[in-house]
Structure 1
């Protein structure tokens, strides 16, 4: 049985998890907006180069490191809750993990699209990019409800 293995460190691990979720979400809110501005500025090579630099810094300094820490700490918390032991009443946690997988996929898509823009290629309209900017906000709202309310 793994459940409860964090003991007295549980609150510290949970606090760190929440802190890095905030960092990750900040990056996921920023990068799609950067992509819109980058795509709009592709007619000016100097401006496009500045957006490439900004996107790379955001990705390397905040976005990807925060996502990795979120996953590591989140897996520890899920194991501590008993997800691997078949503890009942964790439907909310399964749903949360599904949404985190969706956010991770979105993260990967946004990073890939930034690389595509860096090569001078587009594929999504500015309006679609603006709409996709709402995905992290919706997922975050659902995750918070799942974690706080634990509806199932």
Structure 2
């Protein structure tokens, strides 16, 4: 089994990228829905539609993609550790990547909590707030991708 896992690195990498793309799509779209939701009349048609859209986006796309991103990412780390040694975990590029992953994970949970607040009619954040923070996942993505593809600070 270990040999099979080790021998399919490109498969794990491809599946990881697919999962990240799906997760990022949701991470960028859900706050945009919140921008519109802040202007909806409580229990009106828009409010009702956005509640459904937000719940489905989170539960059908974002949550599975989040889990798969972690599974395939940890698989890649394990394969790299087995084949290259574990020293890469201490490289600045990998530390930046892992910090980004932790941020994205925390942001995912924050967005999920916000969805519950919207569903309960208890959102406390403004339209302006959601517009501003909508870009945070994109900034994290840029930092992580550039850190990994350039192996910034590698020795």
What TM-score results when the alignment is normalised by the length of structure 1? 0.90
* 1:147 counterpart = 2:148: yes
CA distance in 1 between counterparts of 2:119 and 2:65 reads 23
Instruction: Note if contact 2:58-2:112 (Cα within 8 Å) is conserved in structure 1.
Output: yes
Q: CA deviation at 1:94?
A: 2.3
**Cα RMSD for the two superposed structures:** 2.0
CA distance in 2 between counterparts of 1:36 and 1:52 reads 13
* 1:86 counterpart = 2:78: no
Equivalent residue runs for 1:2-151 within 5 Å: 6-43=5-42, 45-82=44-81, 86-88=86-88, 90-151=91-152
Name stretches of at least 5 consecutive residues in structure 2 with no aligned partner.
none
CA distance in 2 between counterparts of 1:112 and 1:90 reads 33
Query: Cα deviation per residue 1:79-130 (whole Å; 9 max; x = unaligned)?
Result: 22229x5324633122201111101111110111111011111211111111
* Number of residue pairs aligned between Structure 1 and Structure 2: 149
1:121 aligned counterpart, secondary structure: coil
CA distance in 1 between counterparts of 2:117 and 2:95 reads 33
Instruction: Note if contact 2:80-2:86 (Cα within 8 Å) is conserved in structure 1.
Output: no
What TM-score results when the alignment is normalised by the length of structure 2? 0.88
CA distance in 2 between counterparts of 1:145 and 1:78 reads 18
